[in-house]
Chain A
Amino acid sequence: MKISDVIVIGGGLAGFMAAAVAANHQQKVMLLTYGSGSLPLMSGTIDIINAKAPDAAIKNLPAHHPYKKIGLKAIDSAAKFFCDVAAQANLPYVGRLSAQIPVVTAVGTLKYSCLVPESMDASNLVNKKKIFVVEIKGLKDFYAAMIANNLKKYFPDKTFDVAKIDLKLLGGRDITCMDAAQLLTDNEQQLANELKSLKAADDDAIIIPPILGVMGNFSRSVITTQIRAEVIETTCLPPSPPGIRLQRAFIKYLQKSGVRVFENSKVVRGVVEGKKVTGVVVANVVREKIFRAKKVILATGGFYSGGITMRDFDNPVEPIFDIPVFFPTGAENWSNKNLFSDKPQGFSMTGILTNDNLNPADENGKILYDNLHVVGANLGGCDKIFERSAGGIAISSAYKAATI
C-alpha cells in the first residue's frame, strides 16, 4: 500500500484547507471524510475575530489562545491562500485582517466579517440612495419586509422598497436558496429581467437571497452586467449556496492538485509507534483498513461534528487518538444559562491543547505525538462562537499544520 505524505481527517473547512495547502507544498495528500462536512451549511464568510481591527485584537489574546500558537504570520498567509483557492474557481473574496466588512443576514441585521464573498459585501449600503429588498415567490425563509424593517434601524435615512418576483421556480416542493441557485445556474436571464423591471438606479442597491448560482461568480456576472444598481446577496439558512460555492472551489482545487479524497471513511483509531503516528484505521461496515502516512492532521471538528464526544458528564473524549481534552469542569462553569447574553459559554472552550506546532499536549503540557497536528474546531481554550473566530482558526491552524 502506498504511504501518503499527509493524511487529513475531516472534510470541513479546516480539513479542506489543510489538504489544499499541503498539496500546494508538493505533498502527497489523502483526505478522509465522513459526511459532507460543514461547508454546505455555512454562510460563506470567514470571521477572524469580532473586533474593529482583528489583527490588533489577536495580538492582545492570552497565551493559551489557539491564535497565539498559530501566529499572525500564518493567519495572514492562510487568508491569502484561502482567497486564492476561491479566486481560482472564479469566486472572488474581499477583505483584510485589519478591518471587518458588513454582511446582510437573512433577518436583516448586519453581521461583520473579515473575508467575504464579493457578492455579499454590503460596505457600500451606507452610500446608497434607495435599497430594494427582493423576495422570491415560493422561496422559504426569506421575508423581504422583515429584512427591510430591520435594516431601517441601521440606515434610518434611506428609502426602502420591498418587491416580490416570481421566477416560476415552484415544482413539487418548497424551494430553498440552494434549489433556487441550482435552478438559476446557466438560466439567469429571467432573474435579470425581473431585477431590471425594478428600475433601480446607479446609486441604489438590490438585496436578494443568495441564489446567484452554485458555481463561483458565473451567474452573478450575468446579472450584474445588466443591472445598474449594486446587487447584494444575504446569508441564508442551510443548505447555503455561498458555502456550496466554496466547497466546490475547494473540491476543484483538491482534484486539480491530485489529493485523494475518500468519502464515507470513518477513522476509528490511529496506528502509533511511541510518539509517532504511522497511519489511521478506517472502519467500514465489515472490516478495517489501514491508511499509512508520514504525518496526520486531525480536523474532525468539535462537539457538533463528533470530533469531540461526551458520554459521561465532565469527561469529554477525542475518539480517534484518545488525546486529553481540555474542559472547564464543574456544572457552574460549564454553561451560561443566558444563551444570547454577552458572556461566553464554558462548554465552548472544550478542545485539545497544543504547542506552537499544533501537536497535542497532555494535562502537563507534554507533547504526545510529534507528527500529529490538531486543527479547526478541535482546538480548545476559546469560545469560537462567542468571539466569532471559528472560520479564522480553521483556515489558519490548517495552514500552519500543513506547512510545518
Chain B
Amino acid sequence: MSDKTQAIFTGDRCLSCTSCMANCPVMAAVKEYRGPKLVGPAHGRMHFSQEDIEESLNYCSNCKSCDRACPSGVAVSTLNMLQRAEYYKKHGHLRSEDMLAHGERMAKLIRKIPFGATFSNIGMGLGKTLGVFSALGIAGERNMPAYASTSFKDYFPRIKQTASGKKIVMFTGCFINDNEPQVGEAFVKVMNANGYEVLIDKGFNCCGSPLVVMGFLDEARQHADNNVARILDWKKKGIPVVTPCTSCSLMLKEEYHELFGEEQFHEAATNVYDAFEFLEILQERGEFNDNFKPLSQKLLYHVPCHLKSQAIGLPAQDILEEAGAKVNLADAGCCGISGNYGFRKDKYEISMKIGAKLFERIKKKDFDKVISDCGTCRMQIHHGTDIKPVHPIEILAKAYA
C-alpha cells in the first residue's frame, strides 16, 4: 500500500482507532470540535457525496497532528480541508477570512502605494487601537505582522553574490518576502557560503496554504498549477527549488498532491527541498562547507508541526550543533497559531490555550535565543512570551561570518 496518494482515497483506510483524537490539540482545548476521526475520514469515506456538512469542521487548524498520529496513512487534515472547500461552495466567506487568506494580494496592493508599508504599519497599529480588526473578525489582541519597507524580492538584486555554476532557486514564501526579508538574506549568505548562487523566480505565487485552510480551493489550485509548472521548468534545467519556510515546503512537496492528485504535483515535489534538508544532502555528498566561526550560543528549538510532518529528521539541529551551538528542543507541542488560524477572532483563545505549554517552557529563559523554521510559529511565540525567535538559518549565517 503506497501512502503517496491523493487524500480523497485514503479515508477508507481509517480503522476508527482514535489515535487522531488522542493527539488532536484542538480537541484537547475545546469541547465543540467533534475531532478529526468524525470529520475528515468519516465524511471522506463517502467522498463528500452527501449533503451533510459537519459544522464543527471549522475548528480544525490543519496543524496535521492527526496525520502524524495515524498509523494507517490517512491524510486526515487534508480530508478536512477538502471538506471545508465543499462547505464554502454553499456558504459565503467572512471579510476577515478573505483578508487572512490573501496576504500576498494585500502586500502587493500596499507596495503599489508610495510609503505604503510605512502607512499600512501605522494603519495596522491604529486599526488595532480603534478595534477595527476586531470588528472585521480578526483577533484584536494580536499585532498584525508588520510589512518590511522593501520586500525581499525587490531587495534581492542588491545582494552581492559570487556567480557560480551551481544554482538553486529560492522559494521565498510570503512571510519572508513581505515581513522578514532578513531571513531571506541569511538564506542567500548560507547558500553562497556553500558554493551556490541563489536565483529568485518572480513568477512564483504564494504556495496557497492560507487559501487552502480558508476554503479557497479553486484559487489554491491556480497557484499550484502556476508554481508547479515553474518548478518543473527549473527541474528541466537541473536547478532545485529550496525554501526556508516549512509550511511552503510541505505544501509544495506533499499537500498539492494530496489535494489535487495529478502526477505532475508529485513530479514537481521531487525538485523541492527544505533549506536545512538541502544542506544536509550536501553534507552527505561531502560538499558542505563546515568552515565555521564556531557558535557558542545556547538555543531552544521549537520544531514546527509542518516540519515534523516532513519526515526529514531535524537537520537544522544537527548542523547548528556541528557549528558549535547547543540546541535543546522545546518539546512542548503545537504553538497553536497554525498559519492564519490564530488570527481569527473566534479562534484566538483556542490558539493561545494550545500554545500555553510552549509559552511556559520558553518563559524559563534558559537559552540565548529561541529558533523556529516557521514564520507564524515565530509570531505566536513572540506574542505569547515577548521573546522574539529567529529562523535557524539566521544563526547559521552568523557562523559563516
Q: Interface on A for B, CB 8 Å cutoff?
A: 1-2, 34-37, 40-41, 169-173, 175-176, 178-179, 182-183, 238-239, 244, 255, 260, 262-266, 282-287, 289, 291, 305-306
Contacts and interface: CB of A to CB of B under 8 A. Distances in A.
B279 to A, nearest CB: 12
A35 B308 contact: no
B299 to A, nearest CB: 15
Contacts of B284: 1
A172 B33 CA distance: 7
Nearest to B30: A171
Contacts of A265: 311, 313
Contacts of B72: 35
A93 B331 CA distance: 26
Which of A263, A291, A306 lies at the interface centre, i.e. has the most chain B CB atoms within 10 A of its CB?
A263
Which of B35, B56, B313, B329 lies at the interface centre, i.e. has the most chain A CB atoms within 10 A of its CB?
B313
Contacts of A260: 313-314
Given A260-B314, A289-B312, A41 B17 contact: yes
A284 B18 contact: no
Nearest to A243: B22
B280 A1 contact: yes
A264 B308 contact: yes
Contact of A1 (B22, B310, B318): B318
Contact of B67 (A40, A173, A264, A282): A264
B313 to A, nearest CB: 6
Contacts, number: 115
B21 A169 contact: no
B252 to A, nearest CB: 10
A2 B38 CA distance: 41
Interface in B31-65: 31-35, 38, 56
Interface string B1-34: 0011000000000000111011100011011111
Which of A176, A285, A289 lies at the interface centre, i.e. has the most chain B CB atoms within 10 A of its CB?
A285
Nearest to A30: B313
Given A1-B284, A41-B17, A287-B270, A34 B27 contact: no
A1 B285 CA distance: 10
Which of B4, B35, B312 lies at the interface centre, i.e. has the most chain A CB atoms within 10 A of its CB?
B312
7 contacts: A1-B284, A169-B31, A172-B31, A173-B31, A173-B35, A178-B22, A289-B312
A179 B257 contact: no
Contacts of B3: 266, 285
B385 interface: no
Contacts of B28: 182
Interface string B264-304: 00100110100000001001100000000000000000000
B391 interface: no
A40 B23 contact: yes
A171 B17 contact: no
Contacts of A289: 311-313
Contacts of A306: 71
Given A255-B331, A284-B312, 10 more contacts: A35-B19, A170-B31, A171-B30, A172-B34, A178-B22, A239-B18, A266-B311, A282-B311, A285-B269, A289-B312
A305 B22 contact: no
B22 A36 contact: yes
Contact of B21 (A172, A178, A282): A178
Nearest to B16: A238
A34 B71 CA distance: 6
B70 interface: yes
A47 B56 CA distance: 39
A222 to B, nearest CB: 19
Interface string B238-274: 0000000000000001100100000000100110100
Contact of A179 (B31, B270, B272): B31
A285 B313 contact: no
B69 interface: yes
Contact of A286 (B23, B70, B269): B269
Contacts of A1: 280, 283-284, 318
Question: What 8 pairs across the A-B complex have the smallest Cβ distances?
Answer: A171-B31, A35-B71, A40-B22, A284-B311, A172-B32, A36-B69, A239-B22, A239-B18
